[in-house]
Amino acid sequence: MLRNAPFFMNGLTIAKQSAIIIVLVSEFGRVPNTVIRVFTVSFTHWVNGTFFVSEPIPYWAQASSLLRGCWLLLYITAVNPSEKERSMIMLKQCQDSYHSTFGTYEDMLDYHEEQVKASQWQRCQVNTLQVEPLDKASPLYGSLSDFAAGVTQEAVDDTAENLGLAIRVNGELYPVRETAYKSLLDRAKIGGTALPKLGRDVLANVLNACLQLYSAEALLLIRDEKISAVHSGDSVDYSILPINELLTTLKAKLDDRFPGSVFEAGYCDHSLVSASWRMPNQREELLGTYIKTLCATGKGALASRLTPGIRFMTSDTGVASAKVSALLVGGQHPIHIGKCVAVDHRHQSKISDFTDVLDQLFAQFGDMVAKLEALLDITLDYPVNAMTRVCKKLSLPKKAAVEAISMFEMAYGGGPATAHDVFLALQEIPFILKTQSTPESKMLEVEENMARALTLKWSDYDLAKAVNY
């Protein structure tokens, strides 16, 4: 029996294929790359806050807000998936739902260097694009030879299950990835909720009729057997910022400004790329004053774990600019402090522009920490009401926000709290969203909005009158 949440979070080490462990409910569901079956015992309430739960539950199940601050006793057996199950788990790069994680910077850089070599950026006039249906009823579905060299049946099958369209560009036919849908509509200058409801043959005709009206240039990204984006090709519009060059630029800057930085994790899918680093050697330089203040206010446990870090994000398909944000890592959840610095994929942006914004972020890191520290001096008489109003102000997802507010209310029992307490309570929202398999692009938007809380005038939200979300 192990009363150790990090043991659970970092993976399952078991004897004879089973284990009994005790974990915090807030950490429940953080087992990476492990297929498990959870069996539970009986339901009762211990005075120490430990719960036995009587029903079998999957490891990814979201615990209710009522239990989230308590301990769960879990009996876990590891499951070796069958060959069929493994084939379902292993996604191919051509599939729209493909994603990958990276444990080292070198692995991530190698992956994106290969992606850059294999990807094609093609320019053509918008009115030369020809859209064709590619659902299972389409003649194209059973005619692999009609597609460009290198397109596999797996890519065709996956497209038929998803967007269901193909595009002929410069005489070659390619399946279209879901990530290209919005940019394709932009080139046709149309939109609306009715379009996805149309049959694929009708949608293709509508798109072709509209595309024929425009002679502007388009810039297409062909990657992993599909068209992944249909950007504007105007000289002042989309600018290609190769991901491998962004990564090497960032790494060089980190090594120069924050030597000893440690790569934490990397992620990519067809719409978004992200990576994070922590800077343990700069803990005293960047967080020294803040840590001392935390200790002086009874938050020494949190102070002992915090380390400065950064997160990098970019997209070749229009989801995000090339951006970097400041983090504090080591707590229950990463804390985003301050807004991102970013270079848009527009106006002939270059890698050198990314270098400049990195200098801005590194210079501002201390100021961002100071803003977080200042929240410790702001006392809120009605912290639950303040948190609710702040969530509404920042347009945070309602369901997750309401759950986080409920957890905070239970923890503080209606008493006063600091703006710092509320800001940390907000960090529960991204964790809740992750348990719901929220897309990374949505997570990015939420985290950026939450960082804006550092700049709010908190007294404006500390009102006695309750407010419904």
Query: Pick from 83, 102, 132: which residue ends a domain?
Result: 83
The residues, ordered by sequence, that sit 6+ positions from 110 with a Cβ below 8 Å of its Cβ are: none
Regarding whether 357 and 250 lie in a shared domain, the answer is yes
pLDDT for position 22? 54
Residue 47: give the domain boundaries: 2-83
Give 277-308 pLDDT, tens digit per residue.
999 999 999 999 999 999 999 999 999 999 99
Regarding whether 369 and 263 lie in a shared domain, the answer is yes
Give 193-235 pLDDT, tens digit per residue.
999 999 999 999 999 999 999 999 999 999 999 999 999 998 7
Regarding whether 409 and 311 lie in a shared domain, the answer is no
pTM, whole model, 2 decimals? 0.78
pLDDT for position 77? 45
Regarding whether 385 and 350 lie in a shared domain, the answer is no
Q: How many domains does the chain have?
A: 4
Regarding whether 227 and 151 lie in a shared domain, the answer is yes
pLDDT for position 434? 84
